Amino acid sequence: MRFLPTPALLAAFVLALPGLRAAALVPDADDGAIYLPPGFRAIVVADNLVVGKRVGNTPEKLRGLAVAPNGDLYAKGKFGLIWALRDTNGDGRADEIKEFGPGGGGTHIAFHGGWLYHSSRTTIYRQKYTPGELVPQSEVQVIVHELPAEKDHDAKSFGFDEQGRLLVEIGSPYNVFSDGDRRFGAKGKTDAEVAEFQKTYGGFWRFDADKPNQTQADGTRFSTGHRHSLALAWQPVAKEFFMVQMGRDNLNIIDPVHYDELDNAERVSEVMHRLREGANLGWPYSYWDPIKKAHMRAPEYGGNNFNRIEPDPYDQPVVAFPAHWAPIQMAYYAGPQFPAKYRGGMFVAFHGSWNRAPRSQAGYNVCFVPFDEQGRPRGTYEQFAWGFAGVEDFTNTRDARFRPAGVAVGPDGSLYIGETEKGRIWRVIYTGDLTPRARYANAVAQQTFAPIGADTSGGKIYAQVCAACHMPNGSGVPGLQPALAGSQVVAGNAATLIKVLLQGPAAVLPADREKFSNVMPAFAAAYNDADLASLLNYLRKNFAPGAGAVSEAQVAAQRK
């Protein structure tokens, strides 16, 4: 009789391996500047991996993550570099970091069957994995090559089913397959042109994972009607692939009569699908509206924000995420460390997209999708890690501090999260300490805070300038900036408060006051009297109810 270890024995064995014990790790005091639910903490494994790194003249960006059986971590660059990271002393931080890779772009990286697979824009590679060898020394094998790669959506995600077969996505180089793509009045191509186009683009193709030098012609088209999807994972209980697709852009640019900027920012969901063989997801003819909960006809094909696809022949999503969150990688969780509710579910890293502008950006988080005992999504999701952007309200992606991209599960059940712009990688562990932490409680308060006068000039100044230090809900940051909610300065003498804004607190307040490491500047030269009066009234209405209003004339008098 063959011995099969129980999950408990397997967990005990894994946690006994050197360098893999989560219990011995000391989390960062601020969890690496992100927010996590109670009981979870984070350690920054590595930082600034891509800072100063270029491939040719192009700055490198961090994308996918993969973890070896011994806990070594591998991170894939968008333009070809691969980082191999090892924690040699068990403190959770990488102290040995090596670079390698064949170049040529890519995004995805994964271990399978004793091999390390990774992709470029056109090719799926693999190298034999030798336990203990940080950088693979084996010959690089080409498994699939000469895949189509044009100007957009050229990164190649891939995954493996239970039979070891390889699934590879070939995205569409279009936003929508149309004449005048992304421009006013764009018109969709004919049905015959779409059918021919989808023989090459806009779907997943299945290949033999062990056969070298295949081309697209050697593969079988597995699914179609896609725009672009990088987040793909196998669910071993359901014995099916799941994927999250990136929704279309530019609704209001194509048809400003029927769509405005709010429609464009909110009406096109990022959708999770059960990826069945033969499935058609409906692109380019339709998009999924998360508010109407329906496939809507694309404006390039006569849609007007009201026309649904009826009858609807397309595959229905199992979870609908908000628009333009930009999913990059998805990981199945079966680890021994997190509470039972997480086992069998999926973690999805959302990068954030430019196309919500001029509306505020959204995404910039890692979400958890729960699955039931049969391996079916429950239809919901919850935010698991957030605060990556570092600001609450912004429109330009460059204003975000971090943009999540990679997510992977380690052998001990730790969750690794990577971000693309600077190359920071976090290791999230479960400590079980459910004591409410000020940082988490503050984050929850920020999410539920409903400001008065957010649309005033003062409200906008606060969101753009002040909230980064004092927090949107005025709670401040211990040691960095004081809380405004309940502040005697905000609620007190109007003349003193005005002077603080005009001259800066160091020039006005007592020298023996509590000091903070972030020094607030003077605002006299930055804003006129009307804007400063509006800002002061915003502060008082939200953080000192009952304090009197401040007039433009009062500000002018103190300025003199």
Q: Scan for tokens 């999924």, then name that residue.
A: 288
Distances (CA, A) of 139 to 115, 343, 453: 11, 36, 63
Q: How far apart are CA 171 and CA 228, in angstroms?
A: 5
Contact 230, 350 (CB under 8 A): no
Q: Which residues contact 329 (CB under 8 A, 6 or more apart)?
A: 63, 64, 65, 108, 230, 231, 348, 349, 405, 406, 407, 408
Q: Are 156 and 108 in contact (CB under 8 A)?
A: yes
Q: What is residue 19's predicted lDDT score, i.e. its pLDDT?
A: 39
Q: What is the pLDDT of residue 5?
A: 42
Peptide bond into 322 cis (omega under 30): no
Q: Which residues contact 104 (CB under 8 A, 6 or more apart)?
A: 80, 120, 121, 122, 123
What is the torsional sign of CA 453, 456, 458, 463? positive
Distance CA 203, CA 217 (A): 14
Q: Which residue is associated with the tokens 């179609």?
A: 224
Residue 480: per-residue pLDDT: 53
The CATH superfamily of 7-441 is TolB, C-terminal domain (2.120.10.30)
- Do the beta carbons of residue 406 and residue 75 sit within 8 Å? yes
User: pTM for this one?
Assistant: 0.76
Assess contact for 223 and 213: CB atoms under 8 A.
Answer: no
Cα dihedral 223, 227, 228, 232 sign: negative
Q: What's the CA gap between 334 and 177, in Å, rounded?
A: 39
Which pLDDT score is estimated for 8? 38
In this structure, what are the phi and psi dihedrals at residue 252, rounded to the nearest 5 degrees?
-75, -20
CATH code of the region 450-559: 1.10.760.10
Residue segments in the chain with a per-residue pLDDT below the cut of 50: 1-20, 479, 517
Q: Is 327 in contact with 273 (CB distance < 8 Å)?
A: no
pLDDT in tens, 260-269: 999 999 999 9
Q: For the chain, which residues make up each domain, given as ranges?
A: 7-441, 450-559
Length of the chain: 560
Residue 205 tokens, joined: 């193709």
Distances (CA, A) of 81 to 103, 294, 345: 6, 40, 30
